[in-house]
Amino acid sequence: MSALLVGGFVLAGPALPANADEPDPPDCTKVDCVALTFDDGPGEHTDRLLDILGEHDAKATFYLLGSQVDEYKDEVKRMVMDGHEIGSHSWEHADLTTLSTDEIEDDLDRTDKAINNIIDKDPVTVRPPYGALNDTVRQAVDRPIMLWDVDTLDWQHHNGDKIVDIAGKETSPGSVLLLHDIHKTTVDAVPAVLETLSEDDYEFVTIGDLFQEDLEPGTVYSDARSEYTQQPGD
């Protein structure tokens, strides 16, 4: 058995940067943690979302589009200042499986640079648009690849009650929830999502804190229950 398969926090992996200004995150080995992730932004509702997350003392992870960040620099800076995590969602949402290795690398490099220009560090993990993956994408991405296990389908139905219902029913300890902060209905529903999941005593943490230090470059993850899913070339 590979050491990685031992579901342990004892194993060393690449360290994810911690925000020194924030209090220690909850210990996800002792309490039930979930990661809310917001894709396709930043956008016009992001600042209000940051207010809501702050009011609930909830941390989240934002999978940003490189093409959007210059227009919302203040929001991107605030994400980091507020203790949230930033991931890459590509430059402008191309299906990476339609691109060559060079094109994928150029797309992600361009995105990294735009984000790094604002926050002085690169995105920690990569979420490919549509969750679309093939061997070329897996081999071209030099960081952990983060999918999700709870899809609220918010982009499809634009219905706050449904978002809350799906989140409440499908979330379990270690879940990664997919949401989109570019939709007003989603941001409107976030207080109820937080309140519903808080009733089940979930703590809201970043991807880095949910997975501790167990993330490996090029490996695909959907939740923190299956710390090992696919290797490049599988």
Which residues of the chain form contacts with Ni ion (CB under 5 A)? Answer: 39-40, 129
Cβ distance to Ni ion smaller for residue 40 or 203:
40
Please report how close the Cβ of residue 76 comes to Ni ion at its closest, in angstroms.
17
- Cα–Cα dist 4/13, whole Å: 9
Cβ distance to Ni ion smaller for residue 43 or 174:
43
Cβ distance to Ni ion smaller for residue 83 or 144:
144
Residue from 84, 180, 181, 209 carrying the catalytic annotation? 180
Nearest to 122 by CA among 136, 108, 103, 105: 108
Tokens 């009733």 sit at which residue?
199
Which DSSP category does 126 fall into? B
Cβ distance to Ni ion smaller for residue 129 or 208:
129
By beta carbon distance, the residue nearest Ni ion is 39
8 A C-beta contact, residue 228 and residue 92 = no
- Told to judge if 183 belongs to the known catalytic residues of this protein, a careful annotator would answer no
Query: Of how many residues is the chain composed?
Result: 234
Which DSSP category does 230 fall into? B
DSSP lists the bridge partners of residue 230 as: 220
- Cα–Cα dist 165/213, whole Å: 31
Please report how close the Cβ of residue 108 comes to Ni ion at its closest, in angstroms.
14
Cβ distance to Ni ion smaller for residue 87 or 218:
87
Please report how close the Cβ of residue 129 comes to Ni ion at its closest, in angstroms.
5
Please report how close the Cβ of residue 155 comes to Ni ion at its closest, in angstroms.
8
SS3 146: strand
The string over 151-164, giving b where at least 16 C-beta atoms fall within 10 Å of a residue's C-beta and e elsewhere, is bbebbeeebbebbb
- Told to judge if 21 belongs to the known catalytic residues of this protein, a careful annotator would answer no
Question: Largest alpha-carbon pair distance within the chain?
Answer: 48
Active-site residue set: 39, 180
